[in-house]
Chains A and B, each alone.
Chain A
Amino acid sequence: MSAPSDRQSGSSVQRLQGDLVAGLMVAVASVPSGLATAAMAGVNPVFGLYAATAAPAVGSLLTSAQMMQITTTSASALAAGQAIASYPSDQRAEALFLLVALSGIFLMLFGLLRAGRLLRYISFPVMTGFLSGVAAALVFDQSAQLVGYSPDAETTLGSFVELLLNIGDFSLQSTIVGLLGLAIIIGLSRTPLSSISALLALVIPTIIVVLWDPGDVRLVSDVSTIPQGLPPLGLPDITLLTPNLVISAFALAAVTGIQGAGISQSYANPDGSVVDPSRDMFAQGAANVAGSLVSGMPTGGSVGQTALNVSAGAKTRVAGVFHGLFMLMIILLVPDLVSLVPMPVLASVMIVAGYSAIRFHAMAFIWRTGGSGRWVLAVTFLATLLLSIPAAVSLGVVAAVVLYLYSSASDVRVRALEPRDDGEIHVVEAPEALPGRSITVLEIYGSLFFAAARTLREKLPEPTGAEHPVVVIRLRGNNQIGPTLIDILNDYAHELASAGGRLYLNGMDKQVSDRLERAKKLDLDEEVVLVPATDILGESTRDAVAAANDWLRHYREDGDDALSWPGSTTRGSGA
Chain B
Amino acid sequence: MSTTGEQDARPRGRGVASGATGFARWRSDFLAGLINAVVSVPDGLASAALTGVNPVYGLYTSIVAPIAGSALVSAQLMQVATTSASALAAAQAIATYPADQRDAALFLLVLLTGAFLLLFGLLRFGRLVRYVSYAVMTGFLIGVAVVLILDQTAQLVGYSPEGANEVTQFVDLVRHIGAFSVRSIAIGGLALGVMVVLARTKLSSLSSLVALVVPTLLMFLLGWEGIQQVSDVSPIPRGLPALTVPDLTLITPSLLLAAFSLAAVIAVQGAGVSQSVENPDGSPVSPSRDMFAQGAANVAAGLFSGIPAGGSVGQTALNVSVGARSRWAGIFGGVWMLVIVLLIPGLVGQVPMTVLAALMIMAGIGAIDVREARSIWRTGGSARLAILVTFIATLLLSVPVAVAVGVGLTIVLFVVSSATDVTVRAVEMLDDGRFAEADPPETLQSERVTVLDVYGSLFFAGARTMRRALPRPDDATRPAVVLRLRGRTSVGATLIDELDDYADELAEVGGRLYLSGVDEDVMTQLRRAGKLELDTNVQVFPVDEVIGESTGAAVRAAEAWLGQRRADASN
Which residues of A pack against B, CB within 8 Å? Answer: 1-2, 120-126, 128, 365-366, 368-373, 377, 400-401, 404-405, 407-409, 411, 413, 417, 422, 424-428, 443, 445-447, 449-451, 454-455, 476-480, 482-484, 486-487, 490-491, 494-495, 497-498, 515, 518-521, 523, 527, 535-539, 568-575
Contacts and interface: CB of A to CB of B under 8 A. Distances in A.
B281 to A, nearest CB: 15
A442 to B, nearest CB: 13
A426 B547 contact: yes
Given A120-B419, A450-B410, A494-B1, A571 B434 contact: yes
Contact of B528 (A370, A377, A490): A370
Given A411-B490, A538-B435, A568-B434, A121 B2 contact: no
B493 A483 contact: no
Contacts of A124: 460, 492-494, 497
Contact of B465 (A120, A479, A519): A120
Contacts of A568: 432, 434
Given A519-B379, A571-B435, 12 more contacts: A124-B494, A125-B492, A373-B492, A477-B453, A482-B133, A483-B375, A494-B2, A495-B1, A497-B4, A520-B378, A568-B434, A572-B433
A476 B437 CA distance: 12
Contacts of B381: 482, 515
Contact of B547 (A366, A427, A490): A427
A369 B492 contact: yes
A239 to B, nearest CB: 35
Contact of A366 (B133, B410, B493): B493
B570 interface: no
B489 A413 contact: yes
A477 B457 CA distance: 10
A523 B529 contact: no
B400 to A, nearest CB: 18
A518 B508 CA distance: 49
A379 to B, nearest CB: 14
Contacts of A491: 1
B506 to A, nearest CB: 12
B133 A571 contact: no
Given A372-B492, A424-B547, A426-B546, A447 B418 contact: yes
Most buried by B among A123, A368, A408: A123
Interface string B356-398: 0000000000000000001110111111000100000000000
Contacts of B7: 494, 497, 523, 527
A373 B493 contact: yes
B490 A483 contact: no
Contacts of A538: 434-435
Interface in B434-485: 434-438, 453, 455-457, 459-461, 464-465, 473-474
Interface in B397-417: 410-411, 414-415, 417
A86 B47 CA distance: 46
A535 B528 CA distance: 37
Nearest to A478: B455
Interface in B110-135: 130-135
Interface of B: 1-4, 7-9, 130-135, 138, 374-376, 378-383, 387, 410-411, 414-415, 417-419, 421, 423, 427, 430, 432-438, 453, 455-457, 459-461, 464-465, 473-474, 486-494, 496-497, 505, 508, 525, 528-531, 545-549
A371 B134 contact: no
A370 B530 CA distance: 12
Contacts of A424: 546-549
Contact of A365 (B411, B427, B530): B530
Contacts of B528: 368-370
Contacts of B464: 120
Contacts of A365: 493, 496, 529-531
Most buried by B among A2, A491, A568: A2
Nearest to A405: B411
The 3 tightest CB contacts between A and B, nearest first, are A477-B455, A123-B460, A450-B133
Contacts of A527: 7
Nearest to A492: B2
A405 B453 CA distance: 23
Nearest to B509: A2
B460 A536 contact: no
B493 A123 contact: yes
Contact of A518 (B131, B379, B410): B379
20 contacts: A2-B474, A123-B461, A124-B497, A125-B492, A128-B493, A369-B492, A373-B494, A405-B131, A405-B415, A454-B130, A477-B423, A480-B417, A482-B381, A484-B134, A484-B135, A537-B437, A570-B433, A571-B548, A573-B547, A574-B453
B106 to A, nearest CB: 35
B492 A371 contact: yes
Nearest to B412: A401
B427 to A, nearest CB: 7
A371 B490 contact: yes
Nearest to A4: B508
B549 A482 contact: no
Contacts of B2: 494-495, 497-498
Contacts of A483: 133-135, 138, 375-376, 379, 383, 387
A496 to B, nearest CB: 9
A196 B530 CA distance: 34
A426 B488 CA distance: 17
Contacts of A575: 486-487, 547-548
Contacts of A445: 486-489
Contacts of B531: 365, 369
Contacts of B3: 498
Nearest to A452: B130
Contacts of B489: 411, 413, 445-446
B284 to A, nearest CB: 11
A569 B430 CA distance: 11
Given A2-B474, A484-B135, A515 B493 contact: no
B383 A369 contact: no
A128 B433 CA distance: 46
Contacts of B378: 518-520
Contact of B456 (A371, A400, A479, A536): A479
A523 B465 CA distance: 36
B418 A408 contact: yes
A574 B427 contact: yes
B545 A428 contact: yes
Contacts of B8: 494
A2 B473 CA distance: 9
A63 to B, nearest CB: 20
Contacts of A377: 493
Contacts of A539: 434
Contacts of A487: 134
Contacts of A484: 133-135
Nearest to B411: A405
A317 B123 CA distance: 60
A519 B461 contact: no
